[in-house]
Amino acid sequence: MSRHFAVFGHPVAHSLSPKIHAAFGKQTGIAIDYRAIDVEPGQLTHALADFIAQGGAGANVTLPLKQAAFSLCDDLTERARRAGAVNTLVRNGDTWHGDNTDGVGLVRDLTDRHALDLRARRTLMLGAGGAARGVAPALLDAGIGELYIVNRTPQRTDALADALAEPGRVHPRYLADLPALGEFDLIVNATSAGRDQPMFSLPRAVVGRRCAAVDLNYGEAAIPFMAWARASGCMAAVDGLGMLVEQAAESFARWHGVRPETDAVFAMLHGHAAALVTAD
């Protein structure tokens, strides 16, 4: 039986992952069968069972299924365990091995492609869901300074701060606290605002002199936050396209044993940026 790969999400028809993995396969000479599968929340277990029956060997998982995927894995990498969310599944015999490549993908994009020095940056994280969980540990490992997490739902903010287990460095806060939090050197939008709901208001007072703004979304979904960042005087504004390509390369390496080059694929997608819709 041939090996199949896929990305699961809801919605997922917009996903660039099939195009990215096709490009990686062409580059490395590996035949790729990779497709997008729409799965409503609560149906991931059944969808994966059908996928396995058809020869499924590995998968990416995107919003809103990353935490559900975590709970279905029998074995996890340390970075997936720290994140409490899985974006990469590897079939291991009769079980699923879970990994999270989002964080390493983001850090590689910011430091290598955009030449940002993350060390000691006072950081504001907007959001506390699967996307935030995927990147927060890697940002801390990359040497950022204090991390302030703000989310619409206080319980999720507190849960993520507790999971990161660095009480002197990680601070859960609430939307109402934003005007009083002072200036930041790095602002990361890990919410779905701009994709399926309006962007909430951000005070310009949070923007420090050397502030970089990063949206984990890309395409149309990133437009509101990126526009705010530029209008507010951020020194750099980076969307999530590079992170998407880098995390995909990590997943590809897990499945096929070779890490593809990413610059040409990023350039190809960036050249078609007007057609992009939202983030994996």
pLDDT at residue 277 in the model: 42
CATH number of the domain residue 270 falls in: 3.40.50.10860
Residues 157, 149: contact at Cβ < 8 Å?
A: yes
Residue type, 159: A
pTM: predicted TM-score of the whole model, two decimal places: 0.92
Mean pLDDT, residues 244-256 taken together: 98
pLDDT category of residue 201 using cuts at 50, 70 and 90: confident
Whether 126 and 212 map to the same domain: the answer is: yes
Q: Span 158-169, mean pLDDT?
A: 94
Q: Write the DSSP assignment of 26-50 as a string of letters.
A: HHHT----EEEEE--TT-HHHHHHH
Residue 280, in any domain of the structure: no
Cβ–Cβ under 8 Å, residues 75 and 91: no
pLDDT (tens digit per residue) in 128-143 = 988 999 999 999 999 9
Residue-averaged pLDDT of the chain: 93
Query: Residue 197's pLDDT band (boundaries 50, 70, 90)?
Result: low
User: Would you place residue 195 in the very low, low, confident or very high pLDDT band (cuts 50, 70, 90)?
Assistant: low
Q: For residue 242, which amino acid is it?
A: G
Indicate if 58 and 128 belong to the same structural domain.
Answer: no
- In angstroms, the CA 204 to CA 266 distance is 31
In contact, 131 and 83? CB cutoff 8 Å: no
Boundaries of domain holding 51: 4-101+245-275
If asked whether residues 107 and 232 sit together in one domain, one would say yes
Residues 113 and 229 grouped into a single domain: yes
Strand pairing partners for 58?
5, 90
Residues 141 and 82 in one domain: no
Report yes or no: 146 and 87 within 8 Å, Cβ to Cβ: no
Instruction: Report the CATH number that the domain containing residue 133 is assigned in CATH.
Output: 3.40.50.720
Strand partners of residue 90: 58, 97
Give the amino acid at 252: F
pLDDT at 5 exceeding the cut of 50: yes
Active site annotation includes 66 = yes
The verdict on 228 and 107 lying in the same domain is yes
Residues 91 and 120 in one domain: no
Catalytic residue among 15, 21, 57, 66: 66
Amino acid letter at 7? V
Considering the domain architecture, whether residues 31 and 52 belong to the same structural domain is answered as yes
Answer yes or no: is 268 within a domain.
yes
Domain count, the chain: 2
Same domain as 210, residue 107: yes
pLDDT at 130: 87
Tell whether the torsion through CA atoms of 117, 83, 179 and 219 is positive or negative: positive
Domain contains 189: yes
- Cβ proximity of 136 and 165 under 8 Å: no
229 part of a folded domain = yes
Which residues of the chain form beta strands (DSSP E)?
4-9, 34-38, 56-61, 75-76, 88-92, 95-99, 123-126, 147-151, 170-174, 184-189, 207-215, 236-238
- Do 168 and 201 share a domain, yes or no? yes
Structure tokens at 231: 């209008």
- Asked if 125 and 106 count as a contact pair (C-beta separation under 8 A), the reply is no
Sign, Cα dihedral of 82, 83, 88, 94: positive
155 shares a domain with 69? no
Please check whether residue 76 lies inside any domain of the structure: yes
User: Is the pLDDT assigned to residue 276 strictly greater than 50?
Assistant: no
Beta bridge partners of 76: 98
- The verdict on 11 and 67 lying in the same domain is yes
Query: Which range scores top for mean pLDDT: 193-202, 212-221, 250-259?
Result: 250-259
